[in-house]
A and B are shown apart, each in its own frame.
Chain A
Amino acid sequence: MKISPKLVAALLLAGGGALPPGAWAQQVVVIANPGVQVGAGDIGDIFLGEKQFAGSVKLVPVDNAGLQAAFLSKAMNMDANKYNGRWVKKSFRDGVNPPPLKSGDAEVTEYVKRTPGAVGYVGSVPAGVTVVNKY
C-alpha cells in the first residue's frame, strides 16, 4: 500500500489550521437557499455585510473553513487577514456579525438548505440549492 504524499500533506496542514497548496486550484461554487434572489455581482457585498437584504429576505452568509482561502482569493480578491480585518471594523461600527464558519461542504450545504436567506460556498454543486456563481 502506498498512500499519496499529497494526502498526508493535506492532513498535516489541515491539522495546523492551514490549507493545502492545492486549495488555490479548487473549484468554488457559491450557493444560496432556493428562496434567495441574488446575482454574482452581489457576492462581495454579501460576504462583507454591505448587502444584508435581497428584497425582503434577510441574507445569511456562511463561510466554509475548507474552502475559505480559495473563495476569498477568487471571489473577494483578498486574503483571510484582510477579510477578518474588514469584519472587525464593520462589526465594531455597525453592530453586524461576521458569517458563521462551518467546517466543510457538508455542513455548509445542510445550513444553506435549511436556512432562509443563506448564501454559502462549496467545492461541487449539491442538489436542492440555487447556484449563484462558479469560480
Chain B
Amino acid sequence: MQIVHKTILAACVASALGAAAVPAGAADTAVAARLKELEKKLEQSMRMIEALQDKVNRLEGGAAARPGHAAADEQGARLENLERQVSQLGSGMFSRTGAEDGLPLHGFADVGMFRSGENNAVYGRGNKGFMVGSLDLYLTPQFGDRVKALVETVIEVDRDGSAVVDLERVQAGYTFSDALTAWIGRFHTPYGYWNTAFHHGAQIQTSILRPRFLDFEDKGGILPAHTVGGWLTGVLDAGPVRVGYDAYAGNAPHIEGAAPSAPSLLRMGELNMKAAGSGSHRTSSGFNAWFTPKSQSSLRLGVHGLRANVADDLGNDTRVGMLGAYGVWIDDDWEVLGEYYHFQNRDLSGGTGRRGSNAWYLQAGYNFGLATPFARLERTRLDQNDNYFASQLSGRSYDRLALGMRYELNQKSALKFELNRTRQKDLVAADGITPAPDDAFIEALMQFAIRF
C-alpha cells in the first residue's frame, strides 16, 4: 500500500512540477500565484485520491463477499468510472480557460534566414542573411452573445531593417445569425482564399512566402490586402451544400509615392488604404461567394470580385475591376490551393481605355506526417499601359516556381525551407526609361514559425 501511495504521490508531484514549469517566464508574482493554486489543486487531488482508494477498498471487499459474474461486472464498471474520474482529475490541472476567465492574447511570430539572387535596377540587389519576419498579436474579445471584436497589431521589419508597427485589423461586429455577421472597421479584404485564411499567420501557412501578387501592399502585392469599411459575411445551409458569402465596401486605396518624374518609368508607388478617410472620397466594393458540399467538406469552390476607383499621385484615375475564381482542397493528406484573378481596368483620367491583366497561382502540398513538401507555380501578366499597375512598384509581371518543405516541430511551431526561381519582367534600366532584360534569380529561405 505504501508503494502505491508513493507512486500516486510521485505522479501528482510530477504533474505539479510539469504544470509549474509552464509559467516559468512570467513575472514572479504570477509564478507564486500559480504555484499556490497548484499546491491547492494538489491537496484537493490527494484528498480525492484517498477517497477513491477507499472506494476501491470497499469495492474489492464487496466483491469478495458477493461472488459471481454480476458482482464482477459491477466492480469493473465502477473501476472504469473511477479511472475516468482520476483521469479527469489530472487533466483538470491543464484546463483551457474560457472567455469568462479573461481575454486570451494570441499571436504568430517568425524568424529565419534567406539569400536572394535578385539584381536589377527596379528592386535592387536582394538581401542575404538572418532575418526577423513579424510579430503578430491579436485579440478576439466577445461582448455578450452577439457583439464581438477582432483587434490585431503587427510589428514587422522592413527591407531596410527598421521595425514598423501596423494596426492590422480593428473590427467590431454584430452577429445576427449564422447567416449574417456585420463588421465595421479595418479588416482583411475577403478576396480569394489566402488573404483571409493565412495573412500574417506564418505558422498556419504551409509555405514561407505568399504568392507574391497576393503579398501585403508594401511587400509586393498588387491588391488592397486590407479594407477600411463595412463587411457582411455568413454561411447558409442550402441542403447538400454550405454556401458562404462576403460582401464589403470601403475606402478605395490610393497609390502613393509614384515618383512623378516623367518620362521615367521607374514608378515606386504603393497602395495606401486611407484608414482615416480622404478629402476626395472614392469607394471600393467587392464580393466573395463559395460553396462546400456537405458530403465532401475538404472542397471549397468560390468566385470573387472587386471594384475600386483608384487614383495616384500622378493624377491618374483608374476604375479597377477584378473578377476571379478559386478552389481549395484540404484533407489529412493533401493541401491544394489555386486562385485566379482577371483585371479589366478602365482609365478614367486619360484615353487609354480598358486594359486586361491576369494573375494566378497553384500550390499543392502532401502531408507525410510531420513533413509536408509542397510546390507552387505563380504567374502574372500585368499591362504596363494600365496606370494602376504602372504606378505601383510591384505592378510588374513575373513568373515564379517555388519548392519547399514544412516540418512540424510540434503543434505550435514549424520549420520551413523554400527555394524559388523567379523571372522578373517589365524592368527598366537605371535611367528609368530604357527597357531592361528580365531578371531571373533564385531565392533560398528558411523560417522558424511559431504561434501562441
Contact A123 B84 (CB under 8 A): yes
Residue-wise, chain A 24-56 has the 8 Å CB interface mask toward B (1 for contact) of 001000000000000000000000001111000
Contact A17 B91 (CB under 8 A): yes
With A6-B79, A7-B79, A95-B173 given, is the CB distance from A100 to B101 under 8 Å? yes
What residue of chain A has the Cβ atom nearest to residue B411's Cβ?
A81
Taking CB atoms, residues of chain A closer than 8 Å to B28 are none
With A52-B175, A95-B149 given, is the CB distance from A8 to B96 under 8 Å? no
Among the stretches B10-18, B381-389, B430-438, the one at the interface with A is B10-18
CA distance A94 to B83 in the complex (A): 38
With A15-B18, A16-B18, A23-B87 given, is the CB distance from A92 to B106 under 8 Å? yes
A20 interface residue (CB < 8 Å to B): yes
Taking CB atoms, residues of chain A closer than 8 Å to B106 are 88, 91-92
Contact A19 B204 (CB under 8 A): no
Contact residues of A between 58 and 86, Cβ < 8 Å to B: 58, 62-68, 81-82, 84-85
Contact B84 A66 (CB under 8 A): yes
Contact A14 B15 (CB under 8 A): yes
Contact A104 B83 (CB under 8 A): no
Residue-wise, chain B 136-166 has the 8 Å CB interface mask toward A (1 for contact) of 0010101001101110000000000000000
When the two chains form the complex, which single residue of B8, B100, B201, B451 contacts A11, counting CB atoms closer than 8 Å? B8
A127 interface residue (CB < 8 Å to B): no
Contact A65 B1 (CB under 8 A): no
When the two chains form the complex, which single residue of A11, A95, A105 contacts B90, counting CB atoms closer than 8 Å? A11
Contact B95 A65 (CB under 8 A): yes
Contact B86 A14 (CB under 8 A): yes
Taking CB atoms, residues of chain B closer than 8 Å to A88 are 106, 201, 204, 451
Taking CB atoms, residues of chain A closer than 8 Å to B201 are 88-89, 92
Contact A95 B79 (CB under 8 A): no
Contact A1 B178 (CB under 8 A): no
Taking CB atoms, residues of chain B closer than 8 Å to A13 are 87, 90
Contact A15 B7 (CB under 8 A): no
Contact B91 A66 (CB under 8 A): yes
Give how many A residues have a beta carbon under 8 Å from the other chain's beta carbons: 56
What residue of chain B has the Cβ atom nearest to residue A20's Cβ?
B87
Taking each of B57, B87, B196, B199, which has the highest tally of chain A beta carbons within 10 Å of its own beta carbon? Answer: B87
A125 interface residue (CB < 8 Å to B): no
Taking CB atoms, residues of chain B closer than 8 Å to A89 are 197, 201, 204
With A10-B86, A10-B87, A19-B87 given, is the CB distance from A92 to B138 under 8 Å? yes
Q: How far is the CB of A55 from chain B (nearest CB, A)?
A: 9
Taking CB atoms, residues of chain A closer than 8 Å to B15 are 14-16
CA distance A20 to B411 in the complex (A): 21
14 interchain pairs (CB within 8 A)? A3-B1, A4-B56, A7-B79, A7-B86, A8-B8, A13-B87, A19-B91, A23-B87, A52-B178, A62-B98, A95-B173, A100-B95, A100-B101, A105-B85
Chain B residues with CB under 8 Å of chain A are 1, 4, 7-8, 11-12, 14-15, 18, 49, 53, 56-57, 79-101, 104, 106, 138, 140, 142, 145-146, 148-150, 171, 173, 175, 177-178, 181, 188, 196-197, 199, 201, 204, 235, 242, 332, 411, 451
Chain A residues with CB under 8 Å of chain B are 1, 3-4, 6-8, 10-17, 19-20, 22-23, 26, 50-53, 58, 62-68, 81-82, 84-85, 88-89, 91-105, 107, 117, 123-124
